[in-house]
Amino acid sequence: MASEKRVVFRSGWLPWALLAPQVIVILVFFFWPAAQALLQSFQQSDAFGISTEWVGLQNFENLLKDDTYLASFQTTAVFSVLVAGLGIGISLVLAVFADRVVKATLIYRTLLIWPYAVAPAVAGVLWLFMLAPSIGVVSYALRGLGIEWNSLLNSTHAMTLIVLASVWKQISYNFLFFLAGLQSIPKSLIEAAAIDGAHPWRRFWTIQFPLLSPTTFFLFVINVVYAFFDTFAIVDAATQGGPGKDTAILVYKVYYDGFKALDLGGSAAQSVVLMVIVIALTVVQFRFVEKKVQY
């Protein structure tokens, strides 16, 4: 039995020196802002941050009395389920088809990866132009089908717009992992099942999909976090939370109340609640969903 290889550092300070840059980044850009947000959630400041008053849990109590904030929970839940579900499902289908392509494989895969290089704000503007009521190419085609598309006035249309933009932006990321997972599955397993008479759908459902469960679980966690945090720029560029507040997801409301309404304490309280929700969802996923993952 081969002995396990270990890296041995001659000096005791070198491992800490190598870890220091990453630790500093985490402390400065995560723990310090989180601590500041937690502190500010118990305070009330003026618009310029000059005077500060300790108010305890009043900011959190005000959130429970705010109907628009409570409504944003439902908006965020619907948005997150659609983004995570559609993003993972479409990416998996594309990866399965791309894995079977024989000719021009590099071209197909490159085209499917390109959207990931697009900034979220650009993705929001792109879909906003395509679905603009007056000049949009897609909205013009929908009018030909008898559908009067107007994301400026129709809440369902506005939600569809940001979901499409968010899913399109994340498809490439999911696609890369699914494709890598499919290519890591031994071809001998697929060929043996084919010889036994299993049709393509059965081979996928009984062999490939169970072996992709670790990848699917990882992408599920990533997509939920993405829907909660990384879609802010898309919402801001495409709908700005409108019409009304019907597409104001939690992360956008944190920005709006803090930077436009200038309610710094309330915005900080919202960010703390959002952080707790995402951490709780992640813990639940690892605690319960991971049990069904086949490693």
- 211 lies in a domain? yes
The DSSP letter of residue 81 is H
The encoded tokens of residue 83 equal 């983004």
- 91 lies in a domain? yes
- DSSP-assigned states of every residue in 233-263: HHHHHHTTT-STTTT--HHHHHHIIIIIS--
Angstrom distance (rounded) from CA 61 to CA 27: 30
Question: Which residues, in sequence order, are bridge partners of residue 52?
Answer: 45
From the list 207, 188, 217, the residue with the least C-alpha distance to 291 is 217
Angstrom distance (rounded) from CA 294 to CA 181: 13
Angstrom distance (rounded) from CA 222 to CA 219: 5
> Taking phi first (over 0 means left), then psi (-120 to 50 degrees means alpha), and beta for anything else, what does residue 197 get?
left
A 10 A CB-CB count for 220 gives 19
What Å distances lie between residue 103 and 4, 98, 168, 181, 182, CA to CA? Answer: 42, 10, 25, 20, 18
- 293 lies in a domain? no
Contact assessment for residue 65 and residue 73, using Cβ atoms and an 8 Å cutoff: no
The CATH number that applies at residue 225 is: 1.10.3720.10
Per-residue pLDDT in tens (0 to 9) along the chain, 295 residues: 455 667 676 777 888 898 999 999 999 999 999 999 999 999 998 877 778 899 999 999 999 999 999 999 999 999 999 999 999 999 999 999 888 876 777 788 788 888 888 999 999 999 999 999 989 999 999 999 999 999 999 999 999 999 999 999 999 999 999 999 998 988 888 888 888 888 888 888 988 999 999 999 999 999 999 999 999 999 999 999 989 899 999 999 999 999 998 899 999 999 999 999 999 988 888 887 766 666 5
User: Residue holding tokens 């992360």?
Assistant: 251
How high is the pLDDT of residue 157? 96
Q: How many domains does the chain have?
A: 1
Tens digits of residue pLDDT in 145-189: 999 999 999 999 999 999 999 999 999 999 999 999 998 988 888
Secondary structure (H, E, C), 89-128: HHHHHHHHHHHHCCCCHHHHHHHHHHHHHCCHHHHHHHHH
| Helix (H) / strand (E) containing 43 | strand 43-45
Mean pLDDT, all residues of the chain: 89
How high is the pLDDT of residue 248? 95
- 295 lies in a domain? no
- 42 lies in a domain? no
- 196 lies in a domain? yes
Angstrom distance (rounded) from CA 173 to CA 91: 9
| Domain ranges, residue 180 | 48-288
How high is the pLDDT of residue 291? 67
- 30 lies in a domain? no
- 275 lies in a domain? yes
